[in-house]
Amino acid sequence: MRRQLKRYLPSHEKLAANRWLAPFGSSLFHPRLWHLNRHSVAGAVAAGLFCGLIPGPLQMLAAALCCLAFRVNLPLALATTLYTNPLTLVPLYIAAFSIGEWILGNGSGHFTAPPEWGDTSLIVWVEHLAGWMAGLGRPLFIGLVALASGLSLAGYLLTRLAWRSYLIHNWRKRRNRKS
């Protein structure tokens, strides 16, 4: 499994030669950030899944900071954040809002559509839109934290399980070849 992952990840030496990354050399090029084993890969998947739900371009920065803090594989965590994209972001946020509503007990957990413009003036519509957005805040935040935690825990456990299954499969193949 390690060989397949190494094919797609940039080499440590190539990144160390990058002039933009040189100032961060002491912490960014720590060997554990680039090592591929079941602990670092599972931790990187968990960090990437958790940070992937952070809005905007901050998800990769947050994933990099998590990697520095927990000493898990950096490139894999950055790549894992890419599960949120324009196609998946809206359904994930709707699910997070529903989870937040359910946790808070604020209702049925159904997402309410934004107000339509209709016959109202622009100022009235903007006020209605601002009220709608303010109502999303707390349930969305709590739901995002809960969903990100659940996804990262599931990603960690599934990665550990897949790695172990792969190892057992290879051990059995090797044992069968010898006999």
pLDDT of the chain along its 179 residues, tens only?
667 666 776 666 676 666 766 656 666 667 777 788 899 999 999 999 999 998 877 999 999 999 989 999 988 999 999 999 889 988 998 899 889 888 988 765 556 666 777 777 888 878 877 777 777 778 888 999 999 999 999 999 999 999 999 999 999 999 999 88
Q: What kind and span of H or E run contains 84? A: none
Q: What letter does residue 153 receive in the DSSP assignment? A: H
Residue 33 confidence (pLDDT): 78
Range of the domain at 89: 2-178
Residue 79 confidence (pLDDT): 93
Contact yes or no for 56/84 (Cβ under 8 A): no
Question: How many C-alpha atoms does 85 have within 13 Å on its Cβ side?
Answer: 5
Residue 91 confidence (pLDDT): 93
Residue 140 confidence (pLDDT): 84
Residue 172 confidence (pLDDT): 93
Q: What's the pTM value of the predicted model, to 2 decimals?
A: 0.74
Neighbouring CB atoms inside 10 A of 87's CB total 7
How many domains in the chain? 1
Residue 131 confidence (pLDDT): 79
